């Protein structure tokens, strides 16, 4: 059920923003029995914690779900995409704010950036400190997100993340610290802008965006396999045995693996599995540079795709969506990752 919080004197003048609550730390309070935070509050509770929000928008609340974001994946993301697209088709809605757990916020943001086809602002928020803590960052992030969602400069920038007074692009944003409120960063290229006390300020626009429609209820199986010292390639072999259509390799450096994993990758590609090379290094692109067995050049030579600067989790999301079409060629797949 959707309800609207509004002040009658300003109802006609203020834009409408829908708050979609999905759970996460921002929706958690300490359980008296266990002493640990659990999902407890909903979108209405969160909205009541920010009374000044009525100065910026009339906010509708949709309690989509209430769970830890570690539980979320493609089935839930598909539902969220459809909910957001349905909401944004309403002419009176200016934008959408999604409250979400920070554990998988960057994955959800990138999924939505690829699948939601709309120019109106969609802004994700979360919290590093749950609602029982006196300095919880949830209310501030909600106010910031609503301000971003009603700002005309936010249109056409894709899915945005508003945390700690900073605005990040979905493709770039990454959680970098387990606890600090200054956790979400945007790699080499930095934030898009900031939410200052007087106004929202943008310094750049995201350029590397693409739209991929959802074609199936069930996404193809894509696994992530990590390269590490002494890796024997067994995880890659297991992924192939379990029917993976694609595997993302969290490689080393510019995109390098050892001989056992290289042999497993060759075998996987020969059997029709798409292998995408990413890196465990947080910044920079992977490139087919090195010529030793298992080096990037040899991986390219056997048909591996390179993920550019996407980390393994986001590379997996892009590959899942691309593999909905069985007609995608290696060159088309590489072009999508390089876009």
Rounded Cα distance, 190 and 203, in Å: 10
Q: Tens digit of pLDDT for each residue in 189-237?
A: 999 999 999 999 999 999 999 999 999 889 999 999 999 999 999 999 9
Would you state the pLDDT for residue 250? 98
Helix axes 105-115, 312-322, angle to 10 degrees: 30
Which residue spans within 252-313 are E strands per DSSP? 274-279, 305-306
Tell me how crowded residue 91 is: count the other CB atoms within 10 A of its CB.
Answer: 7
What is the rounded radius of gyration, in angstroms, for the C-alpha atoms of the chain?
A: 21
Mapped onto helix, strand or coil, the DSSP state of residue 150 is coil
Q: How far is CA 295 from the centre of its chain?
A: 29
Range with the lowest mean pLDDT among 30-39, 89-98, 233-242? 30-39
What's the pLDDT tens digit per position in 21-35? 999 999 998 989 998
Residues in Cβ contact with 118 at an 8 Å cutoff, skipping those fewer than 6 apart: 84, 85, 88
Q: What is the pLDDT of residue 327?
A: 79
- Is it the case that residue 13 has pLDDT exceeding 90? no
- What are the C-alpha distances in Å from 56 to residues 52, 88, 171, 277? 8, 18, 27, 44
Set 22, 25, 81, 102: catalytic member: 25
Q: What is the CB-side half-sphere exposure of residue 304 using CA atoms within 13 A?
A: 34
Helix (H) / strand (E) containing 246:
strand 246-251
Enter the tokens of residue 100. 């979400």
- Asked whether residue 11 carries a pLDDT value surpassing 60, the answer given is no
Total Cβ atoms within 10 A of residue 325: 13
Q: Which domains does the chain have, with CATH numbers?
A: 2-202 (3.40.50.1170), 222-338 (3.40.50.40)
The angle that helices 74-88 and 105-115 make with each other, rounded to 10 degrees, is 50
Alpha carbon distance 72, 184 (integer Å):
19
Q: What is the predicted pLDDT for the residue at 8? A: 43
Is 25 an annotated catalytic residue?
yes
State the CB neighbour count (10 A cutoff) for residue 118: 18
Residue 243: count other Cβ atoms within 10 Å of its Cβ: 10
The pair of three-digit structure tokens given for residue 336, joined into one six-digit string: 């999508």
Q: At what angle do helices 330-338 and 312-322 cross, to 10 degrees?
A: 130
Mean pLDDT score of the chain:
94
Cβ count within 10 A of residue 42:
17
User: Does 104 have pLDDT greater than 60?
Assistant: yes
DSSP structure class, residue 257: -
SS3 of 80-144: the string is: HHHHHHHHHCCCCEEEEEEECCCCCHHHHHHHHHHHCCCCCCEEEECCCCCCCCCCCCHHHHHHH
- Hey, is 146 helix, strand or coil? helix
Q: What is the pLDDT of residues 272-284, one digit of tens each?
A: 999 999 999 999 9
pLDDT at residue 7, as a whole number: 44
Helix, strand or coil, per DSSP, at residue 79: helix
Per-residue pLDDT tens for 306-327?
999 999 999 999 999 999 977 7
Q: Could you tell me how far CA 28 lies from the centroid of its own chain?
A: 21
């Amino acid at each position: 059920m959707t309800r609207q919080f509004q002040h009658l004197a300003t109802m006609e003048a203020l834009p409408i923003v829908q708050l979609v609550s999905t759970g996460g730390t921002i929706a958690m309070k300490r359980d008296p029995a266990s002493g640990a935070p659990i999902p407890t509050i909903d979108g209405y509770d969160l909205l009541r914690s920010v009374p000044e929000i009525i100065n910026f928008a009339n906010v509708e609340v949709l309690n989509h779900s209430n769970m830890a974001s570690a539980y979320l994946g493609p089935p839930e993301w598909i539902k969220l995409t459809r909910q957001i697209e349905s909401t944004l088709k309403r002419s009176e809605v200016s934008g959408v704010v999604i409250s979400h757990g920070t554990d998988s916020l960057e994955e959800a943001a990138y999924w939505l950036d690829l699948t939601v086809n709309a120019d109106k602002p969609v802004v994700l928020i979360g919290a590093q400190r749950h609602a029982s803590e006196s300095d919880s960052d949830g209310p501030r992030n909600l106010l910031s997100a609503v301000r971003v969602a009603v700002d005309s400069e936010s249109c056409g920038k894709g899915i945005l993340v508003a945390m700690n007074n900073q605005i990040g692009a979905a493709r770039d944003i990454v959680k970098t610290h387990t606890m600090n409120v200054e956790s979400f960063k945007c790699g080499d290229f930095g934030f898009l802008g900031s939410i200052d006390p007087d106004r929202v300020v943008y310094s750049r626009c995201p350029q590397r965006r693409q739209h991929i429609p959802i074609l199936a209820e069930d996404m193809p199986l894509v696994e992530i396999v990590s390269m590490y010292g002494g890796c024997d390639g067994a995880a890659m072999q297991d992924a192939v045995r379990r029917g993976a259509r694609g595997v993302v390799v969290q490689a080393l450096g510019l995109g390098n693996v050892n001989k056992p994993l290289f042999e497993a990758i060759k075998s996987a590609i020969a059997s029709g599995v798409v292998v995408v090379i990413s890196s465990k290094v947080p910044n920079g692109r992977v490139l087919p540079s090195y010529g030793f067995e298992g080096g990037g050049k040899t991986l390219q030579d056997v048909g591996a795709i390179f993920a550019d600067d996407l980390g393994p989790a986001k590379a997996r999301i892009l590959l899942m969506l691309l593999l909905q079409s069985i007609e995608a060629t290696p060159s088309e797949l590489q072009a999508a990752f390089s876009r």
